[in-house]
Amino acid sequence: MYSSHSTKFASNPICLKDLPIVKKIPKGQEFVLLTNDVSYLTHTIHKYPSKFIPQIPRWAIKKYLGNKTNAYVYDPMCGSGTTLLEAMIHEHNSIGIDIDPLACLISKVKMTPIDENKLNNLLHEIKIRINKKRKGNFFPDVDNLDHWFNSLVTKQLSIIRNVIDEYSEDKTIYDFLIIIYSSIIRKVSNADNQSQKTYVSHKVIKNCPEPIPLFLYRLMKYSEQIKQLTKFQKKTKHFIYTVDTRKQHEIKKLAKESVDLAITSPPYIKAVDYIYTNLVEYFWIGDIFGLNDRQKLNKHKQNYIGTKQIYSEEYKTEIKLHIKEIDDIINKIKKTNIKFAYITAKYFQDIQMNLESTNDIIKTNSHYVMVVGDCSVSGIEVPVHKMICKIAKKTGYNVDSVFSYVIRNRFMRFPRQGRGGLITHDWILDLSKN
């Protein structure tokens, strides 16, 4: 069982439009960010679970890179590219890595300018090509496809995918069209639109929109957003890789330049199944990543930090962090649920590996800003932010500041019928390399 952590927050939260650029934010200070300005440029292309708001990387970039240009910003768990896009906006280079191939493709598309004339012609071309097709011949290899999609939706999704595949020679356009396509799949499916768990409700019958009109609308909308990227073309360099953030030797190879600032938001402990959240999307585009069946998807998600996809022989292995507070919490959880104890221990072990690999590539005295949420596991409170601070000190960082902000808006919700709870605050850990 998973729920929000009952941390006592500041009794007098500060309400601001942006986080303050001050020398040091007082420990434990709570902020309420009043702005809803999170949808500018290409930030809104494709929903993705547990996105953090752009105000956080923007604050860190302004605070630690100041008036510099062409510095290197690194996000070792980049998700759908919020940090990378903010680096581009502020004229910095970026390196982003993530284990999730869909996340990496979303990030790439968000960061890739396309010629305006090409985009204008594309909408006209796509309409003609779709109208010429009576039916498509691409269908997911899913036994219960009619559970997830009605027949009209399946027919139109197949037509759209066939038209997209006609652009496979032009990688930039192809990736752009695939992400637009992916962005409509949950909405046109029978699955609940907002839940992080991909499921079809038997109580509420969903009125699914037709895919073709929605795809054409998104093509027009996202084209306008992509056009705005042209001003950043050739000014900065950006590298996105589908890599495990814990693999130090691979990280060193990719990050050839010393990193000036690292910013990330790691997954919560066993809170988000990224593959399952994007399950219907993977049905239709998983073949691009070699993840086009449930067996391959389940195997791949074993590599995610915080995953619940583990086998019994694994969680019989004892993991010790040799940090008393963490080992004590894990032992408490073990009395209730040995599997969840292992998941928690493995999570902190993975975070330690990430901190170590990041420490290897960031410059001395540079900062690593990490956004995390506290939780409880099997009824045991896990103050994740405090535990990560202890690991950070062990791995060669100073903890310069720790503060929180209220999570006001979410892309997706947890359908727990009151059994769990929401993470109401995120903690910002401002770490610096010794």
DSSP codes of every residue in 336-353:
H-HHHHHHHHHHHHHHHH
Reduce the DSSP state of residue 400 to 3 states and report it: strand
What the block records as the tokens of 13 is 């939260």
pLDDT of 412: 42
Distance separating alpha carbons of residues 165 and 144, to the nearest angstrom? 24
User: 236-265 burial by CB neighbour count: b if 16+ within 10 A, else e?
Assistant: bebbbeebbbbebeebeebbeeebbbbbbb
User: Torsion angle of alpha carbons 74, 77, 81, 82, nearest 10°?
Assistant: -80
Q: How far apart are CA 174 and CA 263, in angstroms?
A: 29
Query: In this structure, are 206 and 186 located in the same domain?
Result: yes
How many CA atoms lie within 13 Å of 222's alpha carbon, on the beta-carbon side? 31
Q: Is 171 helix (H, G, I), strand (E, B) or coil?
A: helix
Q: Are residue 214 and residue 245 in the same domain, yes or no?
A: no
Domain boundary among 163, 195, 228: 228
CB 75 within 8 A of CB 110: no
CA 271 to chain centroid: 13
The answer to whether residue 297 sits within a structural domain is: no
Strand partners, 262: 74, 368
Predicted local confidence at residue 257, as pLDDT:
61
Same domain, 211 and 133: yes
8 A C-beta contact, residue 392 and residue 355: yes
Residue where a domain terminates, one of 228, 263, 286: 228
- Residue 430: the pLDDT is 96
On whether both 142 and 207 belong to a single domain, the answer is yes
DSSP state of 191: S
Q: What is the pLDDT of residue 409?
A: 58
Choose among 297, 254, 305, 244: nearest CA to 275: 297
Residues 200 and 103 placed together within one structural domain of the fold:
no
3-class DSSP state for residue 3? strand
Q: What's residue 2's pLDDT?
A: 37
pLDDT given for residue 40 in this prediction: 87
φ/ψ of residue 154, rounded to 5? -60, -45
Contact predicate 406/375, CB 8 Å: no
Closest C-alpha among 344, 340, 338, 354 to residue 320 = 344
**Quick one: 213 and 251 in the same domain?**
no
**The predicted structure's pLDDT at residue 255:** 67
Asked, for residue 284, whether it belongs to a domain, the answer is no
User: Do 355 and 245 have their domain in common?
Assistant: yes
d(CA 360, CA 76): 12
- Domain total in the chain: 2
Give first-to-last CA distance, the chain, whole Å.
38
Q: Which of 228, 263, 285 is the last residue before a domain boundary? A: 228
**Dihedral class, residue 234 (left if φ above 0, else alpha if ψ from -120 to 50, else beta):** left
**Domain presence at residue 263:** yes
Do 400 and 256 lie in a common domain? yes
| φ, ψ of residue 418 in degrees (nearest 5) | 80, 0
Structural domain boundaries enclosing 201: 116-228
The neighbour count for residue 294, using CB atoms within 10 Å, is 16
pLDDT of residue 420: 40
**Is residue 111 within 8 Å of 176, Cβ to Cβ?**
no
Measured distance CA(55)–CA(83) in Å, rounded: 10
Full pLDDT tens readout for the chain, 434 residues: 334 444 444 457 888 888 888 878 888 888 888 776 777 899 999 998 878 889 999 999 999 998 888 899 999 999 999 999 999 999 999 999 999 999 999 999 999 999 999 999 999 999 999 999 999 999 998 889 999 999 999 999 999 999 999 999 999 999 999 999 999 999 999 999 888 788 898 888 899 999 999 999 999 999 999 998 887 766 788 999 988 877 766 777 766 668 999 999 998 887 677 888 899 999 999 999 999 888 888 888 888 887 777 777 777 788 889 999 999 999 999 999 999 999 999 999 999 999 999 998 899 999 999 999 998 899 999 999 999 999 999 999 999 999 998 866 544 444 434 344 455 788 999 999 98
Does residue 244 share a domain with residue 99?
Answer: yes
* Residue 407 and residue 267 in one domain: yes
CATH code for position 238: 3.40.50.150
Q: What is the CA radius of gyration of the chain?
A: 22
Whole-angstrom Cα distance, residue 38 to residue 337? 39
User: Looking at the structure, do residues 337 and 419 belong to the same domain, yes or no?
Assistant: yes
Structure tokens at 216: 């054409």
* Burial (CB count <10 Å: 0-12, 13-18, 19+), residue 356: middle
* Domain co-membership, 86 together with 66: yes
- Residue 152 φ/ψ, nearest 5 degrees: -65, -45
Tokens of 1: 């069982």
The answer to whether residue 17 sits within a structural domain is yes
Q: Is residue 285 a part of any domain in this protein?
A: no
Tokens 């090509």 sit at which residue? 129
CA angle at 407 for the pair 405 and 409, rounded to the nearest 5°: 145
**What pLDDT score was predicted for residue 388?**
97
Whether 56 and 19 have beta carbons less than 8 Å apart is answered as yes
